[in-house]
Amino acid sequence: MKVLVVNAGSSSLKYQLIEMETETVLCKGVVEKIGLNGSLITHKYGDQKVIVEDTINDHTKAFNLLIDCLVNKDYGVIDSVEEIGAIGHRVVHSGEEFDSSTYVGDEEMKKLQSVAHLAPLHNPANIACIQLCKSLLPKVPNVAVFDTAFHSTMPKKAKMYGIPYEIYEKYQIRRYGFHGTSHKFVSGEAIKYLTSKGLPCSKIVTCHLGNGSSISAVKDGKCVDTSMGMTPMAGVMMGTRCGDIDPAVVEMIADNTGMSLKETTNYLNKQSGFMGVSGVSSDARELCKAASEGNERAQLAKDMFAYQVQKFIGSYAVAMNGLDCVVFTGGIGENSWEFRELIMQNTEFLGVAFDQEKNKTSEARGNFCDLSKPESKVKVLVIPTNEELVIARETQEIVQSL
Ligand code: ADP
């Protein structure tokens, strides 16, 4: 079966067509700046790439262009859309309506719409894209795969906020967590690797560190806690998000600056984190460069991030009563030896013997790599994430069970 994986944002549409028998990516691409000036589609197949610039006013046009790319006689990879067995959609927030991936029929669509407001920047675009696929390709089944689903196994003591219970019941306000497909993929890969070596694998901390970052505690293959919350703003500070702060600070910033509550939230979401603290950039590479040139605020942002990740690793080791493995993934986790080195400081007492030299080699950049010394009781792994593959696998599984 060929599965089309679609990740629709408000102004972008990413896609991959995957042949599931071999789990091969036949092509992938992104439609960018939908509804804006300079819209274009970048389509990659094999080691080739084409860029089509066009006026792309809406997602319908974007999706039609995407289909054109798939079947194009020069750079397409299939003869007709009939070859698409299913479409897997990344959906950001499930609310309490779903705790796993789902086929999207009429009933499920109603439920999806009822939780759209929980991720106002993402879910409406995800839902609109599913509706579009249903109307343009009515014979192809659609599956929603949620960012939140992997975290649905968290116990209530980890999920709940210390707010009046009625508020949770009425508005579904609690910790949900995000990047679930990534945490699921890398913890699964870690378990496979550790099992093949005869090593324990029941207590894993997965660190997805990218533009957005989250840490999860995975016990016996199931998520028991995660750092993001009701929204992706919580947890460690990120490229532009503040991460955990004292909630009273929100009103203080609003009062002092004259910003509205909405503007303040936007400010904490889009202009804080690495960007806000350093004043240099939201990008970890720029931050490291500035810090190496002596920029103190860039160094501070680096130190804060590493310290916050360390604290989650420490607290999750206690939450799971031990630690077998730490996994690094995401753009920073997979590529930045500097951040991995900072984060792994002070972990010796947990049984980590971190291989600092190997950490700096190119072998440990963007590849699966074991960064622990042979005597290390806790394994430290770099595992490139593959969220699209998780979406495609779950889509195939659900469609085959229909
Ligand atoms: P997103 O959350 O948008 O998916 P990514 O997972 O792609 O983001 O991560 C992007 C981050 O990874 C950026 O901050 C980028 O600077 C960082 N990154 C990528 N390569 C490196 C590198 N070699 N060294 C340090 N940081 C890197």
Condensed to tens digits (0 to 9), the pLDDT of residues 48-76 reads 999 999 999 999 999 999 999 999 999 99
Q: Is the pLDDT of residue 116 over 90?
A: yes
pLDDT mean over 18-32: 97
Q: Is the pLDDT of residue 121 over 90?
A: no
Which residue out of 332, 338, 388 has the highest number of ligand 1 atoms within 8 Å of its CB and is therefore the one to mutate? 332
pLDDT mean over 230-257: 97
Q: Are 235 and 244 a contacting pair, CB within 8 Å?
A: yes
Q: What is the pLDDT of residue 15?
A: 97
- Ligand 1 near 210 CB (within 6 A): yes
Q: Whose CA is nearest to atom 1 of ligand 1?
A: 211
C-alpha–C-alpha distance, residues 79 and 50, integer Å: 18
Q: Are 290 and 278 a contacting pair, CB within 8 Å?
A: yes
Mean pLDDT of the chain: 96
Q: Are 69 and 52 a contacting pair, CB within 8 Å?
A: yes
- In the structure, what pLDDT confidence band is assigned to residue 192 with cuts at 50, 70 and 90? very high
- In terms of Cβ atoms closer than 10 Å to its own Cβ (0-12, 13-18, 19+), residue 47 is exposed
- Closest Cα partner for 276 from 303, 242, 233? 242
Provide φ and ψ at 142, rounded to 5°.
-110, 140
Ligand 1 atom closest to the Cα of residue 283 is: 14
Which residue out of 281, 289, 336 has the highest number of ligand 1 atoms within 8 Å of its CB and is therefore the one to mutate? 336
- In the structure, what pLDDT confidence band is assigned to residue 87 with cuts at 50, 70 and 90? very high
- Ligand 1 near 217 CB (within 6 A): no
Ligand 1 atom closest to the Cα of residue 211 is: 2
Q: What is the pLDDT of residue 23?
A: 97
- Closest Cα partner for 23 from 185, 184, 132, 151? 185
- In terms of Cβ atoms closer than 10 Å to its own Cβ (0-12, 13-18, 19+), residue 248 is exposed
Q: Is the pLDDT of residue 120 over 90?
A: no
- Ligand 1 near 332 CB (within 6 A): yes
pLDDT mean over 220-246: 98
- Closest Cα partner for 310 from 227, 369, 200, 219? 227
Q: What is the pLDDT of residue 133?
A: 95
Residue 88, helix vs strand vs coil: strand
Q: How far is the CA of 10 from the centre of ligand 1 (A)?
A: 21
Q: How far is the CA of 121 from the centre of ligand 1 (A)?
A: 22
What is the set of active-site residues? 147
Q: How far is the CA of 282 from the centre of ligand 1 (A)?
A: 10
Helix (H) or strand (E) holding 214: strand 213-219
- Ligand 1 near 336 CB (within 6 A): yes
Ligand 1 atom closest to the Cα of residue 365 is: 23
Ligand 1 atom closest to the Cα of residue 330 is: 6
Q: How far is the CA of 331 from the centre of ligand 1 (A)?
A: 3
C-alpha–C-alpha distance, residues 185 and 336, integer Å: 20
Identity of the amino acid at 47: D
Q: Is the pLDDT of residue 10 over 90?
A: no
C-alpha–C-alpha distance, residues 55 and 39, integer Å: 6
Q: How far is the CA of 97 from the centre of ligand 1 (A)?
A: 32
- Closest Cα partner for 13 from 125, 121, 127, 102? 125
Between CA 196 and CA 240, with CA 325 as vertex, the angle to 5 degrees is 130
Q: How far is the CA of 330 from the centre of ligand 1 (A)?
A: 7
Ligand 1 atom closest to the Cα of residue 282 is: 14
Query: In the structure encoding, which two tokens stand for residue 242, read together?
Result: 């503040």
Condensed to tens digits (0 to 9), the pLDDT of residues 165-188 reads 999 999 999 999 999 999 999 999
Tell me the β-bridge partners of 88.
5, 143
pLDDT mean over 194-202: 98
The percentage of residues in the chain with a pLDDT greater than 70, rounded to a whole number, is 100
Condensed to tens digits (0 to 9), the pLDDT of residues 333-381 reads 999 999 999 999 999 999 999 999 999 999 999 999 999 999 999 999 9
C-alpha–C-alpha distance, residues 167 and 276, integer Å: 32
Condensed to tens digits (0 to 9), the pLDDT of residues 255-302 reads 999 999 999 999 999 999 999 999 999 999 999 999 999 999 999 999
Q: What is the pLDDT of residue 346?
A: 97
